[in-house]
Amino acid sequence: MFKGTYRHRIDGKGRLPVPAPFRRLLANEGADRVVVTVLDQCLAAYAPTAWARLETEISSQPAFDRRVKALTRVLASRAADCELDVQGRILLPGALRQAVALVRDAVVIGAFSRFEIWVPETWDGFLRESEGLLDDVAFGLPWPIGSLPVSPPPGPALPQAKPSR
């Protein structure tokens, strides 16, 4: 699972260093490339196995549903295979960089099954907006997920602190 936030620079040729922890995860899967596509306001990079799962999920939906066709077309038409070079960088195609206004600086974040590449100002704005929505993240589940309200243990009450004089 990809996690964490990293700041990197894209070089003049459009190459982005992939954070070392992400490279290790990809290497553990035997992946020498990622599939990159536009997602919302950023670029999303998937290991080939995660991309294959996404393809399977989308393909299992009703093929003639208008929304499924739109999602398929948007994701697949803007997807590119990006190989990791010996220095752990990926070459981001110019069209993908232009689609999200990515020029030089980038924020690379882990998002569980993928990592995302953001323009720093766009990421900062997204964070500001999203922090107000954190109550909705759990979708009604206790937060953190799996936690339950804790009731006091049975038995005598805990002693109270002595009043200060």
- If one compares 3 and 128, the residue with the highest pLDDT of the two is 3
> Does 90 score more than 70 pLDDT?
yes
Per-residue model confidence (pLDDT) at position 132? 74
- DSSP state for residue 160 in the 8-state scheme: P
- If one compares 145 and 29, the residue with the highest pLDDT of the two is 29
Tens of pLDDT along 37-79? 999 999 999 999 999 999 999 999 999 999 999 999 999 999 9
Per-residue model confidence (pLDDT) at position 133? 76
Angle formed by the axes of helices 66-77 and 48-59, nearest 10°: 160
Burial of 102 (0-12, 13-18, 19+ CB in 10 A): buried
The residue assigned the tokens 């290790």 is: 24
C-alpha 52/C-alpha 54 separation (Å) is: 5
Output the six-digit token pair for 59.
């393909």
CB 90 within 8 A of CB 36: yes
Domain ranges of the chain: 5-135
Stretch 129-141: mean pLDDT, rounded? 69
Per-residue model confidence (pLDDT) at position 139? 59
Beta bridge partners of 45: 36, 115
Strand 105-111 and strand 89-91: the pairing is: unpaired
Tens of pLDDT along 101-116? 999 999 999 999 999 9
C-alpha distances (whole Å) from 9 to each of 69, 106, 123, 140, 142 are: 35, 6, 15, 38, 38
Homologous superfamily assigned to 5-135: Transcriptional regulator MraZ domain (3.40.1550.20)
